[in-house]
C-alpha cells in the first residue's frame, strides 16, 4: 500500500464512462486534493485497442491492454471496474478484492449475477466494493438506501431505471409514432445500443432491481426469478387508450415487501401510471425512483439515469468515499464497511407466490368483429374470477376485426396468466393479447 498521502487510481475500461471519469477527475483533481488532503494520481488505464482515438488525452505510457495487471498492481490503491460484461469484469474485481483493494464499479449485470461472491471476497480479504454508479446513473439512490434512509424498512420501491426505454416510450407518446421507428431514431442518437434487447426487453432494469432489492432487503433475487416484460409490443394505440383512462405508460421496476408475511416480489414491466403522478411526468432519458420507508415516508429521486457525465459523477462519488476510507480508518468508514450489506438488518424473506401478487390489469386484444365476442371473453375471464372494470372497443384493420381493451378490478398474477391462456384459445381472439399492469401506488 502506498503512503496514505498519495492515492493511486487505476481504471479498467476506458470506454464512454471510463473516459468521462478520467476527464472529470483531471478537471477537479486540485479541488479534490485540497478537500481530501491527499495527492491523487491516475496511474494506469486498460483499453482493448491501444491505437484507438479517444476524446480524452491519456499518455501512452499509462495505457495497457491487460486489465488484470491493474487489478493486481501493488501500486494501485483503487480499481475502477468500468469494463462491462460479467467475465473479465468478474476476474478483475475478484483479483483486486483478493489483494485487499477498494473496487469501484458501475456494472449492474456483474453485481446482479455475482454479487454474493464479490461481497464474500471483500469480507474475506479486507477489500471494499462500492457501486453507486450501477443503478440510476447520477441519482444517488444507493447512498440514499444505505445511509440516508438507514432507519427505515422499505415496503415499496419502484421507478424508471432505464433511460433508453423511457426515451422510446416518451417519443412514441409525443409523436404518435410506432415502436420500430422510435427505436431506430434512438439508435441514431446513441440512446439505444445496436443490440437493444437488454434494454427494451427489461433485463437491464431487472439487473438494477436486483441490486436495489439486496440493499433494501438483504436477499438476492435473480432476474429469472422476477416477472420481466419489455416494451416492444406497445403501440401508439396503447398510449391513446391509456390517456382515455387517465394514465401514462412507463417501464417500471417494482420491489414490494409485505412485512407481516415477509413475502417479497420483484417485477419489471410496462405500467399504467395516473397522469397526475410525478413519475408519469418523467420523460426522455431521465430516471425516477420512489422509495417508501416506514419511518421517512415516501421520498422521490429524479435525474439522468445514463450517459457519460451522469455515470461518471456517480463513479467519482464512490472514488471520494474510497479515498476517505484509505486516508482515514478502514474500520471507522461506515459507508465502505457497509457497502456489502443491506440498508439495515432485516428478517429473512421469501418470494411471494404469484397468487399473492395482486393488482389491476389492462388487456388489449384484436378480436373478430361479430356478435357475442364480448360475452365469450367475459365468460373466459369470469372462469378465473377476473372481473372487468371497463371496456373500450373500436374497429381495426383488417376488415372484420376490432380492438378490444379491458381493464380489470383487483386480481392476481396467477389468475391473470391463466386468463391469458384461456383467452388465447378462443377462436375469436385473433392475436396474442397484450397485458399491462396498472400502478396503484398510493403515496
Catalytic residue among 23, 108, 143, 208: 208
Nearby residues of 392 by Cβ (< 8 Å), 6 or more positions away: 241, 244, 245, 403, 404, 405, 406
* Helices within 307-366 (DSSP H only): 308-327, 334-337
Q: Is 208 a catalytic residue?
A: yes
Q: Which residue has the cell 465502505?
A: 336
Task: Pick the closest to residue 419 from 404, 405, 408 (CA basis).
Answer: 408
Nearby residues of 270 by Cβ (< 8 Å), 6 or more positions away: 169, 229, 230, 231, 234, 249, 250, 251, 252, 436, 437
Whole-number Å distance between alpha carbons of 226 and 206: 8
Which grid coordinates are listed for 11?
481504471
Strand partners, 297: 293
* Helices within 59-195 (DSSP H only): 67-71, 88-98, 108-125, 141-143, 163-175, 179-188
Task: Pick the closest to residue 338 from 319, 347, 323, 325 (CA basis).
Answer: 325
Q: What angle do CA 115, 228, 232 make, to 5 degrees?
A: 125
Write the DSSP assignment of 259-296 as a string of letters: TTTTEEEEEEEEEEEETTSTGGG--TTEEEEEEEETTT
Whole-number Å distance between alpha carbons of 441 and 157: 10
Strand partners, 247: 274
Whole-number Å distance between alpha carbons of 198 and 207: 10
Say how many C-beta atoms besides its own lie within 10 A of residue 211's C-beta: 23
Strand partners, 301: 289
Distances (CA, A) of 228 to 185, 189, 218, 252, 257: 25, 26, 21, 10, 18
Cα distance between the two ends of the chain: 49
Task: Identify whether the C-beta of residue 153 lies closer than 8 Å to the C-beta of residue 293.
Answer: yes
User: Which residues participate in catalysis according to the annotation?
Assistant: 208
Amino acid at each position: 500500500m502506498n503512503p496514505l498521502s498519495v492515492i493511486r487510481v487505476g481504471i479498467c475500461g476506458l470506454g464512454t464512462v471510463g473516459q468521462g471519469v478520467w476527464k472529470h477527475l483531471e478537471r477537479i483533481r486540485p479541488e479534490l486534493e485540497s478537500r481530501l488532503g491527499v495527492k491523487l494520481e491516475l496511474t494506469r488505464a486498460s483499453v482493448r485497442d491501444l491505437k484507438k482515438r479517444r476524446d480524452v488525452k491519456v499518455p501512452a505510457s499509462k495505457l495497457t491492454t491487460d486489465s488484470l495487471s491493474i487489478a493486481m498492481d501493488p501500486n494501485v490503491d483503487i480499481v475502477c471496474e468500468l469494463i462491462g460484461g460479467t467475465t473479465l469484469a468478474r476476474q478483475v474485481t475478484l483479483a483486486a478484492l483478493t489483494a485487499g483493494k477498494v473496487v469501484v464499479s458501475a456494472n449492474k449485470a456483474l453485481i446482479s449475477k455475482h454479487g454474493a461472491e464479490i461481497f464474500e471476497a471483500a469480507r474475506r480479504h479486507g477489500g471494499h466494493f462500492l457501486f453507486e454508479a450501477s443503478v440510476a446513473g447520477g441519482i444517488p439512490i444507493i447512498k440514499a438506501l444505505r445511509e440516508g434512509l438507514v432507519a427505515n424498512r422499505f415496503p415499496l420501491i419502484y421507478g424508471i431505471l432505464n433511460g433508453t426505454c423511457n426515451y422510446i416510450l416518451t417519443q412514441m407518446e409525443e409523436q404518435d409514432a410506432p415502436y420500430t421507428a422510435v427505436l431506430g431514431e434512438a439508435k441514431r442518437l446513441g440512446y439505444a445500443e445496436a443490440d437493444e434487447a437488454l434494454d427494451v426487453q427489461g433485463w437491464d432494469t431487472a439487473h438494477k432491481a436486483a441490486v436495489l432489492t439486496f440493499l433494501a432487503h438483504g436477499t438476492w433475487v435473480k432476474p429469472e426469478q422476477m416477472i420481466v416484460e419489455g416494451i416492444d409490443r406497445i403501440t401508439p394505440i396503447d398510449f391513446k387508450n391509456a390517456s382515455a383512462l387517465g394514465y401514462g405508460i412507463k417501464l417500471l421496476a417494482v420491489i414490494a415487501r409485505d412485512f407481516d408475511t415477509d413475502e417479497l416480489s420483484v417485477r419489471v414491466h410496462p405500467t399504467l401510471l395516473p397522469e397526475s403522478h410525478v413519475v408519469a411526468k418523467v420523460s426522455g432519458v431521465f430516471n425516477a425512483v420512489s422509495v417508501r420507508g416506514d419511518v421517512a415516508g415516501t421520498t422521490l429521486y429524479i435525474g439522468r439515469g445514463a450517459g457519460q457525465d451522469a455515470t461518471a459523477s456517480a463513479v467519482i462519488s464512490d472514488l471520494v468515499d474510497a479515498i476517505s476510507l484509505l486516508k482515514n480508518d478502514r474500520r471507522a468508514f461506515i459507508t465502505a464497511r457497509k457497502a456489502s450489506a443491506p440498508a439495515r438488518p432485516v428478517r429473512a424473506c421469501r418470494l411471494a407466490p404469484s397468487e399473492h401478487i395482486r393488482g389491476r390489469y389492462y388487456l388489449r386484444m384484436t378480436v373478430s368483429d361479430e356478435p357475442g365476442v364480448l360475452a365469450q371473453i367475459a365468460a373466459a375471464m369470469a372462469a378465473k374470477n377476473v372481473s372487468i372494470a371497463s371496456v373500450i372497443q373500436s374497429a381495426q384493420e383488417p376488415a372484420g376485426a376490432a380492438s378490444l381493451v379491458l381493464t380489470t378490478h383487483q386480481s392476481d398474477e396467477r389468475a391473470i396468466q391463466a386468463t391469458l391462456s384461456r383467452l388465447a384459445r378462443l377462436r375469436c381472439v385473433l392475436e396474442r393479447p397484450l397485458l399491462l399492469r396498472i400502478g396503484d401506488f398510493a403515496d
